[in-house]
């Protein structure tokens, strides 16, 4: 067990100097677009957020994280994202007691991990992975006291992932955050159309077998697992923001899609 998993993408995906990083997160949260008025007037139970560099996906991620302003009741974040660099089976933990960013350390909830023995440590998979790390500064800013349960997903079926998330579900003290981008490196109009179709499939699935593919979302394993739980617990997905790198800081020749979504346990709008 490592004492700390050090930051791997500070200075690349987000600022490496603490004061600049804190300012960046504060600015992104302050510039969030107006959210849908139909959202339930309660705290979210789960979020789906993108994980690119802040200049590209930060505004979209902030749309989801803005729902956590004042969420002092949250004590644990179950954080799941795709393993981009190392092939893994199932879900793996970082094998560390804390995750570090320039803003400080987030304590890993080792007691929670002990309740899901099928999740095994994989230091190498987590060492250079960005999908979870870029979420931490937002969480450290908004819920600095919360412990994290960091999970990287590889080859795994929705019921397998869903069962693990369900066992970690907890009460109002626990938030689930799934990290995923959407379409990758398509021309702007094509990417926009694909992301709209993906969003439609998420918001209005035709059946329980209607799962996302890696081409639709690189974090599809985590998303599919979350929706497996959501169906059983009767949670509904709400779209918060949908844009691409062509809308934020990139060119329109090859864009990456970003979506922000939230689920609420006391949502009776369906």
Question: DSSP labels for 10-38?
Answer: BTTTB-SSHHHHHHHHHHHHHTPPPPPTT
CATH class of domain segment(s) 18-32+41-264: alpha beta
Beta-ladder partners of 262: 47, 238
CA dihedral of 147, 51, 165, 218, whole degrees rounded to 10: -160
Q: CB-side exposure of 165: number of CA atoms within 13 Å?
A: 35
Give the pLDDT confidence score for residue 181 in this predicted structure. Answer: 98
d(CA 213, CA 220): 6
The pLDDT, as a whole number, for residue 111 is 98
pTM for the full model? 0.97
Residue with tokens 């931490």: 136
**What DSSP string runs through 208-251?**
TT----TTT-TTHHHHHHHHHHHHHHT-EEEEEEEEETTTTTS-
Structure tokens that stand for 129 in this block: 């992975």
| Regions of the chain with pLDDT less than 50 | 269-270
Spatial distance between the Cα atoms of 98 and 169, rounded to a whole number of angstroms? 21
Give me 166's structure tokens: 């369900």
Q: For residue 268, what pLDDT is reported?
A: 57
Question: Which residues does 11 contact at the CB level (< 8 Å), separation at least 6?
Answer: none
Q: How far is CA 119 from CA 109, 154, 187, in A?
A: 13, 12, 38
Please check whether residue 154 is in contact with residue 92, taking contact to mean a CB–CB distance below 8 angstroms.
yes
Q: Where are the domains of the chain?
A: 18-32+41-264
In whole angstroms, give the CA distance from residue 256 to residue 52. 9
The answer to whether 7 and 100 are in contact (CB under 8 A) is yes
Q: Are 197 and 129 in contact (CB under 8 A)?
A: no
């Amino acid at each position: 067990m490592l004492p700390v998993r050090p930051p791997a993408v500070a200075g690349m995906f987000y600022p490496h100097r603490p004061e600049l990083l804190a300012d960046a997160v504060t600015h992104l949260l302050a510039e969030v677009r107006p959210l849908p008025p139909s959202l339930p007037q309660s705290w979210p139970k789960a979020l789906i957020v993108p994980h690119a560099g802040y200049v590209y996906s930060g505004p979209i991620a902030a749309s989801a994280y803005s729902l956590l302003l004042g969420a002092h009741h949250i004590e644990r974040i179950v954080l799941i994202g795709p393993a981009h660099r190392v092939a893994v089976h199932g879900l793996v933990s970082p094998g560390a007691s804390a995750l570090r960013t320039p803003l400080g350390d987030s304590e890993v909830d080792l007691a929670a991990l002990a309740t899901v023995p099928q999740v095994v440590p994989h230091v190498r998979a987590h060492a250079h992975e960005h999908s979870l790390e870029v979420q931490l500064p937002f969480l450290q800013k908004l819920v600095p006291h919360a412990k994290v349960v960091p999970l990287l997903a590889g080859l795994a079926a929705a019921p397998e992932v869903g069962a693990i998330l369900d066992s970690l579900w907890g009460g109002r003290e626990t938030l689930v955050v799934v990290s995923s981008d959407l379409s990758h490196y398509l021309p702007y109009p094509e990417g926009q159309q694909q992301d709209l179709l993906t969003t439609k499939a998420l918001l209005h699935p035709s059946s329980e077998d209607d799962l996302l593919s890696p081409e639709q979302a690189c974090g599809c394993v985590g998303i599919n697992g979350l929706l497996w739980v959501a169906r059983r617990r009767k949670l509904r997905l709400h779209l918060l923001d949908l844009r691409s790198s062509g809308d934020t800081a990139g060119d329109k020749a090859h864009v990456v899609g970003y979506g922000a979504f939230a689920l609420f346990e006391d949502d009776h709008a369906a």
